């Protein structure tokens, strides 16, 4: 198989697949290429795309390869997608997803302890969108489900692995509470009342 044909096959596979395509899967479909040659072809394709000013490139994300648009075109893509999609994820679900991403594997009860609210609806949404999966059960009374992120989560957010998550800001230790200062003389500042 010559290089032109091999590149066309590789492009077709990446174009049709809506998720990252692992190198092993590509090699399984086109065994005559081999992993080393596939990597070289991807580099060649990206060089050609860059030289001709194409709007996309092949990126390695979530353990596979995928055609992705050039980040320089993001302002125009944002305009196109400015109206929120009906299946977009709510802020509450995003908060839940962040907790799962940084604390996984984690139980629903632990997520609720952090958020302070019931997260059933958020978890259902994240499971439906395939950003989160059940990752077994915790060895504790009731054996609650453990939740973890998925390859779809990595793909959607453009992460190669969980190590690519931005560092989580740690809260500083709280200052010891000072004794309340006495109310100014002549002012009765009880609960719910302003001092005059």
Residue 77 has a pLDDT of 84
Mean pLDDT throughout 127-156?
91
Domains of the chain: 3-72 (1.10.10.10), 91-164 (1.10.10.10)
* 56-60, 122-126, 189-193: segment of lowest average pLDDT: 189-193
Mean pLDDT in residue range 10-15: 91
Average pLDDT of the chain, as a whole number: 83
Structure tokens at 129: 């969108």
Is the pLDDT score of 181 beyond 50?
no
Nearest to residue 119, comparing CAs of 136, 107, 101? Answer: 107
Percentage of residues of the chain with pLDDT beyond 70: 83
8 A C-beta contact, residue 35 and residue 27? yes
pTM beyond cutoff 0.85: no
Average pLDDT over residues 167-172: 62
């Amino acid at each position: 198989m010559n290089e032109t044909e091999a590149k066309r096959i590789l492009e077709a596979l990446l174009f049709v697949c809506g998720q990252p395509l692992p190198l092993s899967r590509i090699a399984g479909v086109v065994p005559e290429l081999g992993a080393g040659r596939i990597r070289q072809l991807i580099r060649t394709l990206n060089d050609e795309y860059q030289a001709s000013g194409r709007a996309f490139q092949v990126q390695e994300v979530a353990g596979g390869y995928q055609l992705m648009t050039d980040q320089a075109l993001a302002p125009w893509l944002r305009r196109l997608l400015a109206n929120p999609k009906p299946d977009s994820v709510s802020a509450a679900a995003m908060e839940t997803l962040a907790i799962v991403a940084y604390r996984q594997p984690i139980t629903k009860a632990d997520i609720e302890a952090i958020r302070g609210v019931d997260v059933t609806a958020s978890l259902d949404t994240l499971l439906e969108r395939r950003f989160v999966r059940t990752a077994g059960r915790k060895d504790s009374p009731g054996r609650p489900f453990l939740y973890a992120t998925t390859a779809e989560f990595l793909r959607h957010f453009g992460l190669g692995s969980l190590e690519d998550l931005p560092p989580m800001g740690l809260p500083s230790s709280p200052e010891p509470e000072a004794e309340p200062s006495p109310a100014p003389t002549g002012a009765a500042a009880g609960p719910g009342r302003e001092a005059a």
